[in-house]
Amino acid sequence: MLRSRAPILGGSFGMWACIYSLSCCTMVYIRKREDAINSVIAGFSTGFILAIRGGLRNALRSGVIGGLFLGIIETVMIVYAQKQRRDQIIQQNKEVKKMKGDIEKQYGRKLFRK
């Protein structure tokens, strides 16, 4: 059963990936910027296009689900990137304080007075 369904599943995934990529690249071309909104719109349009054979109501429902799914993924990615950026700034501040302390020890005086 699994072996007989594998080509169908692979073809479905390939179709989804193709339509999603086309939609995302089209949004980048139209909007002249690359951000999370393009991905959400591409998710909506992919779900819509793949479900259009089932009728307009079904296509809209699938489009909304696709847009929400990609919206959640993009939100998680943005939050994670902000956390990484914050952690990087904290690490850089620690390194600057350590270097400042090392220089102050070496020369025996404070570098900056408050």
For residue range 54-69, what is the model confidence (pLDDT) as tens digits? Answer: 999 999 999 999 999 9
Q: Which of 78, 52, 79 has the alpha carbon at shortest distance from 66?
A: 52
Domain boundaries, the chain: 2-77
- First CA to last CA distance, the chain: 74
Its pTM surpasses 0.85: no
**pLDDT tens readout for residues 82-112:** 999 999 999 999 999 898 888 888 877 776 6
Mean pLDDT computed over 32-42:
94
CA distances for 100 relative to 6, 29, 83, angstroms: 61, 47, 26
Higher pLDDT, 113 or 64: 64
